[in-house]
């Protein structure tokens, strides 16, 4: 009897531990508790992001289109099905965002960032961020990420990675094209403005977006 009870308890513990939340602990070690993001500025929030976007990024790390040693090591032997499971788990998390930091940026810098985000720059052939990332900038399902709630340093670093070819996406790589058209001060301005914007309630990704997109984008919707 005691042996049967011990076995049942062991099975129950094993079932409790073997959850997707437990199996994704290596993710939250860097991305923060429950994928909320960390305060150091270089690890993005992954909780609540569109599942298609998260899956695409995991595949990009696995296939070498994005460069990060720990991420590549983590996913290099994972199947598509398991990457989709991870993406679905973090996408399903509905967690509050911390208040946006009020960075002491000059008014002209914030104005330039707002213009790029909401209107783009026709002369440079740069579309507005809202044209692809949603009118609320919270992303669009299934695969366009939100831009709010991200640390300024992280956003700047990703633009830099696209500029140097360390970050790539499915072709045509629209963000790589946008990055090459932006001056460094433009990148700093839009990253600074985005990082200070409060998130709307709710902060869920939009379910659809006006088509066609302003640019051909291998990671975006096709219709």
Binding-site positions for heme c read: 27, 30-31, 71, 129, 132-133, 175
Give the C-alpha separation, 60 to 170, whole Å: 8
Q: Residue ranges for the binding site? A: 27, 30-31, 71, 129, 132-133, 175
């Amino acid at each position: 009897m005691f042996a049967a009870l011990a076995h049942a308890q062991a099975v129950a513990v094993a079932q409790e531990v073997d959850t997707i939340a437990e199996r994704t602990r290596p993710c939250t070690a860097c991305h923060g508790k429950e994928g909320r993001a960390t305060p150091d500025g270089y690890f993005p929030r992954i909780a609540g992001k569109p599942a298609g976007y998260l899956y695409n990024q995991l595949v990009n790390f696995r296939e070498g289109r994005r460069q990060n040693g720990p991420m590549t090591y983590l996913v290099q032997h994972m199947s598509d099905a398991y990457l989709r499971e991870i993406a679905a788990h973090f996408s399903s998390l509905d967690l509050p965002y911390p208040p946006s930091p009020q960075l002491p940026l000059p008014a002209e810098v914030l104005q330039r960032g707002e213009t790029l985000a909401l209107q783009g720059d026709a002369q440079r052939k740069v579309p507005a961020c809202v044209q692809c990332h949603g009118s609320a900038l919270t992303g669009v399902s299934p695969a366009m990420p939100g831009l709010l709630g991200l640390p300024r340093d992280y956003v700047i670093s990703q633009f830099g990675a696209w500029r140097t070819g360390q970050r790539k996406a499915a072709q045509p790589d629209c963000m790589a094209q946008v990055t090459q058209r932006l001056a460094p001060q433009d990148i700093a301005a839009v990253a600074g403005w985005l990082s200070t914007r409060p998130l709307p309630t709710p902060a869920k990704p939009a379910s659809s977006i006006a088509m066609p997109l302003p640019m051909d984008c291998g990671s975006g919707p096709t219709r």
